[in-house]
Amino acid sequence: MSNFSKLNLLILVLFGVVIGLGCYSFIYAKGYSYLSDDPKACVNCHVMRENLDSWQKSAHHHVAKCNDCHLPHNIVGKYAVKALNGWNHSVAFTLQNFHEPILIKEHSLKVVKNSCLNCHQPMVQAMDRTDKNHNEEANCLHCHRGVGHVR
């Protein structure tokens, strides 16, 4: 143990503990399920149960899953937003510092709006414009707030 100091051993043990706890947390929290499109992954966090229940009663239940509305429709954007939202959710739920009922953040609202336009493009093409009278971008959810989740 001449070249391998106690400090190196301590660093190696701490690194192993961090990796071990990370793997345990990932498996315990069913982190692998977030790689799928299964809506049940959203209820790994019990605070999302109401959202899943309301989606099951919504008009979109048979045509769109959570990821279809809440994530971009390209693979890089999808997993980048999944990673960002997963991090934000895990921090908020662990620290219990989130608004109830859960409110959508501005960046997520843009993703949802783009998803609306992606699926309904032929119908809403003429509506996708800036409202010149109010200098405000048209927002599908302004009028259709209860479409994805029944409230």
Percent of residues, the chain, with pLDDT higher than 70: 88
> Sign of torsion, CA 34 38 42 45?
negative
Q: Look up tokens 């299964």; give the residue.
A: 38
Domain assignment present for 41: no
Q: State the total domains in the chain.
A: 2
Which of 145, 150, 140, 142 is CA-nearest to residue 51?
150
One domain for residues 16 and 67: no
Q: How many CB atoms lie within 10 A of CB 116?
A: 20
pLDDT category at 63 given cuts 50, 70, 90 is very high
One domain for residues 52 and 124: yes
pLDDT category at 31 given cuts 50, 70, 90 is confident
Domain assignment present for 4: yes
Per-residue 3-state assignment (H helix, E strand, C coil) for the chain: CCCCCHHHHHHHHHHHHHHHHHHHHHHHCCHHHHHCCCHHHHHHCHHHHHHHHHHHCCCCCCCCCHHHHHCCCCHHHHHHHHHHHHHHHHHHHHHCCCCCCCCCCHHHHHHHHHHHHHHHHHHHHHHCCEECCCCEECCHHHHCCCCCCCC
Q: Is residue 30 pLDDT above 70, yes or no? A: yes
One domain for residues 57 and 106: yes
What is the C-alpha R_g of the chain? 21
Domain assignment present for 51: yes
Give the range of the structural domain holding residue 4, as residue numbers without chain letter: 1-35
- This prediction's pTM: 0.71
Give the pLDDT confidence score for residue 136 in this predicted structure.
62
Q: Is residue 19 pLDDT above 90, yes or no? A: yes
One domain for residues 21 and 88: no
Within 8 A by CB and 6+ apart from 4, the residues are none
One domain for residues 31 and 86: no
One domain for residues 66 and 21: no
